Amino acid sequence: MRLSVVVAAQEGGERLAQCLRALAGQLPPEEMEVLVVLACGGDDASQDTIEKLGTEFAQMRFLRRNAPVNVPLLWTAGIDAANGEIVALTIENCRPAADWGPRLLAAHCGDSDCVGGAIEPDPRGRLMDWAIYFCRYTAYMLPFRRQLRDDVAADNCSYKREALAAVRPLAENGFWEALIHEDMRKRGGRIMADPTPAVTWSGGISGWKFLRRRYDHGRYFAARRALDLSGSQRTIRAIAFPAVPLVLLNRMAGRVRARGRFRLKFAICVPLIVCFLAAWAFGEGAGYLLGYSGEGPGQ
């Protein structure tokens, strides 16, 4: 098996079906497997969803996890069940391009341990979808050149199996890519951004839900980072949290200007983006000062 694709799904609706239709038939079954890891409740509706998807996509493997389960935990479950030499991750909100699988394998012909692809916006998206896209994915918006980076988005990312094996203990509480990639770099791993394996982010997340996730993720991220910091270092980072939205917004604006695309759309979305960035910053401040209890936030 050359390629395993792990699709994390929390909703299991039409966006997941679109994602799976895009994946179907990209490579022969003996070369590529698709594992769909669903966070499902125990009700009849959840079971009906799985049965319908299983009928339409009989060649794919469906793994069920009782809700609530966050996306990083779904990814970990899929990685553990995968058989491919290369393991790719995505989510139900992403539609891979028709040549995504072959281009992903081609991108791994070199010595990169991890390859992150392009993530494009859906031009039919709502204003909220655009704001969330800019908040999360401007670093992966086309055009960009193939280059080594410190980090890439796991929503369109792939790994050599041996690289995943080395960081598996860190993924026990979920495959949080920022922490995983940091560990990979410390081990001398190469993280490559490649524009050719592309997906389209289809949106569909409510603004309130995303706002809550930004706070939770910021707090969890800071709490994990704080484990390696002294008390004074945690305090300094916590005090500096009001500057975080300005720094991040400036980076996003710079990327949009450099790409030369969607500048007006970005300007219209700035008020929403600032709200999302503020939620992340408050989460960071709380994480450095108070930590985070539990296995990790939802996603």
Per-residue model confidence as pLDDT tens digits over 90-100: 999 999 999 99
In percent, how much of the chain has pLDDT > 70?
95
- pLDDT surpasses 70 at 299: no
Comparison of pLDDT for 120 and 70, the residue scoring more:
120
> In angstroms, what is the C-alpha Rg of the chain?
19
Give pLDDT, residue 294.
Answer: 58
* pLDDT band for position 237 (cuts 50, 70, 90): confident
pLDDT digits (tens, 9 = 90+) for 94-131: 999 999 999 999 999 888 999 999 999 999 999 999 99
Give pLDDT, residue 6.
Answer: 98
Contact (Cβ atoms closer than 8 angstroms) between residue 42 and residue 27: no
CA distance 160 to 138: 25
Terminal-to-terminal C-alpha distance of the chain: 29
Tell me the CB-side half-sphere exposure of residue 152, using CA atoms within 13 A: 33
Nearest Cα to Cα of residue 156 among 13, 22, 297:
22
* pLDDT band for position 145 (cuts 50, 70, 90): very high
Contact (Cβ atoms closer than 8 angstroms) between residue 289 and residue 222: no
Q: What is the pTM of this model?
A: 0.90
- pLDDT surpasses 80 at 243: yes
Comparison of pLDDT for 68 and 79, the residue scoring more:
79
Q: And the tokens for 78? A: 């899929």
CA distance 114 to 136: 19
Give pLDDT, residue 45.
Answer: 52
Q: What is the arithmetic mean of pLDDT over 208-219?
A: 91
- pLDDT surpasses 50 at 44: no
Comparison of pLDDT for 233 and 190, the residue scoring more:
190
Give pLDDT, residue 55.
Answer: 86
- pLDDT surpasses 90 at 204: no
